[in-house]
């Protein structure tokens, strides 16, 4: 048998066949209270790949925290091959305050790979890259939509990379979007370090969306099985969208042409045709001011949940379902 010893993360040793949780110090609040990254390491009894899960890089995106909780609850280190590192809350400051950003209004997911002496965001990013990403060959970055929006469960990844595509297909979300790497994101920084990275989107900020959480848990479990960390076992029940993900190579937001009160007539997962009315924008007396029409045919993968819109606000996110390879997706939520 291949030698399989302990793993040391942040000075904490975890023996084979065991799990442990601890904190990686990252600073203090203005009150002097210590702040730290919560980490759980499940170190399998047998050798295998090392992977990570993370959530709440944006502090108000709480759905992924529940996904990680449920995945970890079903893992037995005695039966695991390899090692799983889980960081359910990366942006601790934002998570505590229910805020997407850090206290200085920086977006942590535009601050990777970071530095040990830069801004707070840069230091958190550097710590995460050093102690977590640097040890792993595969990672899943869990997100929800931003404030006042909802996303259909979807995987965003480089679908032109064979291994990334294999894992995206294994995840089994309703839609997998071919999305370019954005500068400063965890996905870009980790990919440059040689890791295979999936970004999962589903649900709403500051809400537990049951369908999005369930899809996330099942998807993560399928990926762990696909890389050989766990046995496949009985597959999860077939999701309502079927057993295969559809692919999108191009997405776009339909935006409000006028300010007013939005009455949206479509929802996540709906198929729409070009020029189809997606809803109306009315005035305060209920008079229809204008219709909101689809700029292309596609599937609705994101919507606003706010009934009040200003001209130019994003209303519905449409994904063109690929029948042949076309241009890169205009995916914007890393």
The domain spanning residue 316 has which CATH number?
2.40.50.100
Q: What is the CATH number of the domain that holds 153?
A: 3.40.630.10
Question: What digits encode the pLDDT tens for the residues 114-123?
Answer: 999 999 999 9
Q: What is the pLDDT of residue 333?
A: 55
- Across the range 236-260, mean pLDDT stands at 83
Flag whether 59 is in a domain: yes
For 236-244, what is the mean pLDDT? 59
Q: Which of 226, 259, 289 is the last residue of a domain?
A: 226
Q: Output the pLDDT for position 4.
A: 84
Joined together, the tokens standing for residue 193 give 């370090």
My answer on whether 120 and 61 are in the same domain is yes
| CA nearest to 227, candidates 89, 64, 52 | 52
Do 116 and 253 share a domain, yes or no? no
**Segment 300-308 mean pLDDT:** 98
Residues 220 and 258 in one domain: no
Full-model pTM: 0.94
Give yes or no: residues 283 and 165 share one domain.
no
Kindly state whether residue 235 falls inside one of the protein's structural domains. no
Strands 175-178 and 149-157, sheet pairing: parallel
Range of the domain at 261: 249-321
Do 107 and 208 lie in a common domain?
yes
Q: Does residue 2 belong to any structural domain of this protein?
A: no
* Together in a domain, 32 and 65: yes
Residue 12 main-chain phi, psi, to 5 deg: -100, 125
Pull the structure tokens for residue 233: 């076992």
Same domain? 112 vs 212 = yes
Mean pLDDT, range 272-294, rounded to an integer: 96
Cβ 166 vs Cβ 154: under 8 Å: no
- Report how many domains make up the chain: 2
**Does the structure show a pLDDT above 60 at 138?**
yes
Residue 315 lies in a domain: yes
Question: Please, which pLDDT band fits residue 81 given cuts at 50, 70 and 90?
Answer: very high
327 band by pLDDT with thresholds 50, 70 and 90: very low
- Residue 329 — very low, low, confident or very high, per pLDDT cuts 50/70/90? very low
- Residue 255 maps to a domain: yes
- Is residue 331, in this structure, part of any structural domain at all? no
Whether 269 and 152 share a structural domain: no
- Considering the domain architecture, whether residues 36 and 126 belong to the same structural domain is answered as yes
Ranges assigned E (strand) in 196-238:
196-204
Rounded Cα distance between 217 and 66, Å, is 9
pLDDT class of 323 with cuts at 50, 70, 90: confident
Mean pLDDT of 55-61: 98
Query: Where among 166, 191, 226 does a domain terminate?
Result: 226
- Pair 134, 42 in one domain: yes
The per-residue pLDDT for range 29-53, each reduced to its tens digit, is: 889 999 999 999 999 999 999 999 9
pLDDT computed for residue 239 by the predictor: 58
- Of 223, 80, 218, 221, give the one whose Cα is nearest residue 163: 223
Q: Could you tell me if residue 241 is inside a domain?
A: no
Model confidence at 1: pLDDT above 60: no
Is residue 198 located within the same domain as residue 271?
Answer: no
Do residue 56 and residue 104 come from a single domain? Answer: yes
Phi and psi for 115 in degrees, rounded to 5? -155, 155
Q: Is residue 332 part of a domain?
A: no
Q: Is it the case that residue 326 has pLDDT exceeding 90?
A: no
Whether the CB-CB separation of 41 and 51 falls below 8 Å is answered with no
């Amino acid at each position: 048998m291949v030698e399989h010893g302990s793993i040391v993360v942040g000075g904490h040793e975890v023996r084979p066949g065991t799990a442990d949780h601890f904190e990686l110090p990252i600073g203090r609040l203005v009150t002097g209270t210590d702040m730290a990254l919560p980490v759980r390491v499940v170190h399998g009894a047998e050798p295998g790949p090392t992977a990570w899960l993370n959530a709440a890089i944006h502090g108000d995106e709480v759905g992924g925290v529940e996904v990680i909780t449920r995945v970890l609850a079903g893992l037995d280190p005695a039966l695991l091959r390899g090692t799983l590192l889980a960081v359910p809350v990366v942006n601790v400051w934002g998570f505590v305050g229910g805020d997407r950003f850090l206290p200085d209004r920086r977006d942590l997911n535009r601050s990777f790979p970071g530095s040990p002496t830069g801004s707070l965001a840069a230091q958190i990013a550097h710590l995460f890259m050093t102690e977590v990403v640097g040890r792993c060959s595969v990672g899943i970055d869990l997100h929800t939509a931003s404030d006042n929006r909802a996303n259909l469960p979807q995987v965003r990844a480089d679908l032109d990379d064979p291994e990334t595509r294999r894992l995206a297909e294994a995840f089994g979300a309703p839609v997998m979007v071919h999305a370019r790497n954005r500068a400063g994101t965890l996905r870009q920084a980790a990919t440059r370090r040689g890791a295979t990275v999936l970004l999962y989107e589903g649900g709403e900020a500051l809400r537990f969306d049951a369908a999005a959480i369930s899809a996330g848990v099942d998807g993560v479990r399928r990926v762990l099985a696909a890389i050989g960390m766990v046995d496949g076992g009985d597959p999860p029940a077939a999701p309502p969208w079927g057993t295969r993900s559809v692919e999108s190579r191009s997405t776009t937001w339909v935006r409000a042409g006028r300010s007013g009160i939005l009455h949206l007539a479509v929802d996540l997962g709906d198929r729409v045709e070009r020029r189809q009315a997606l809803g109306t924008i009315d005035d305060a007396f209920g008079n229809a001011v204008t219709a909101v029409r689809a700029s292309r045919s596609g599937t609705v993968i994101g919507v606003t949940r706010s009934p009040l819109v200003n001209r130019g606000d994003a209303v519905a996110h449409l994904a063109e379902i690929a029948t042949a390879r076309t241009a890169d997706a205009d995916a914007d939520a890393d």
